[in-house]
Amino acid sequence: MPRVPVMADPMPPLFHELLGDGYEVLPWDLQPGSASLERAVGIITYSHPKVDGALLDRMPNLKVVSNHGVGVDHINVPDAEARKIPVGNTPGCLDAATADLTMALILATARNVVVGDRYARSPEFTHYDPSILIGHEVSGTTLGIIGLGRIGRQVARRALAFDMRVLYFNRTRNEDAEQDLNVTYVPFDDLLGQSDFIALNCPLTRETTGLISGPQFALMKKSAILVNMARGPVVDHAALYDALKSGQIAGAGIDVTDPEPLPRDHPLLSLGNLVITPHLGSASDRTRRRMMEMTIENLNAGVTGQPLSWQVRSPK
């Protein structure tokens, strides 16, 4: 049988292994008249290439867009729906791994793990000095979660194990979560003012773009630490730099940036009270394998005209 042609941006060897021999993987080639655009029956988006109506209109045989990941801000879902092309993603499987890294960034930033590692390796570390690198206590403090969805709930579970008081703000109040997790709903500004740590676990939408900027930093405690596991544009990076540089907040841990990656001369990269990781939220072996499996399951369904197991639908 002929193999099914799909267009994909570069994928790791394990992805090709799991995909099997039934597919012909075409390069991500957007040049006019490219064979990829003309022939592809499916798209796999691995590293967040842009997919919009202009691209879809150049792919006459396309039946499905299968995204490796939960966030689909790089895919114009309404454009796909208007052309009756389903879009799939991989919800649920990466919640624990992303929540783990949220806590890792909280701890790394609060307890000077990165700064301490650099110092411990340096020639300056010649004797133990109990007066240096005094960090911020995590146990018994207040964590504010913005976005109590699947990932946010997993963050709350971990925070409770650290004896943290957990506040949350959501577009819609979640009374079931309040009962199950012993978390407290508060208005947005109250969360910013009361929290020692603020975790962003919300999706990127029109409403959340620029959600944290100068006025929001002004409401935070000077000892506060911000962790962004959402998307880069949720935080105004110029305002974040000013808040960290001036001491308006104590520190930040970010796994996502805008743009991604930041230019190598970006001022944020010069700050010692910022811990930054290269979008590692879901980067665990078990999670990434499951994401690949779900991506392929959505692809298989789409190219054969079956309902996707995990289909993204635009809000009505």
Pick the catalytic residue from 68, 231, 237, 288.
231
- The angle that helices 150-161 and 95-110 make with each other, rounded to 10 degrees, is 50
DSSP designation for 45: E
208 DSSP β-pair partners? none
Radius of gyration of the chain (CA): 22
* Whole-angstrom distance, CA of residue 34 vs CA of residue 207: 37
212 DSSP β-pair partners? 235
CA angle 266, 269, 275 (to 5 degrees): 145
Structure tokens at 149: 């969805």
Q: Has 175 been annotated as catalytic?
A: no
* Whole-angstrom distance, CA of residue 229 vs CA of residue 151: 10
Q: Could you tell me which residues come within 8 angstroms of residue 98 by beta carbon, excluding any fewer than 6 positions away?
A: 151, 154, 201, 229, 281, 282
End-to-end CA distance of the chain: 41
Bond prior to 315 in cis (omega within 30° of 0): no
Pick the catalytic residue from 153, 237, 279, 288.
279
Structure tokens at 271: 């700050």
Pick the catalytic residue from 157, 260, 289, 297.
260
Residue with tokens 């995590």: 138
* Whole-angstrom distance, CA of residue 226 vs CA of residue 196: 9
CA angle 111, 287, 66 (to 5 degrees): 125
Q: Return phi, psi of residue 293, to 5°.
A: -60, -45
Q: Has 266 been annotated as catalytic?
A: no
Q: What is the dihedral of CA 242, 236, 157, 249, to 10 degrees?
A: 10
Residues designated catalytic: 231, 260, 279
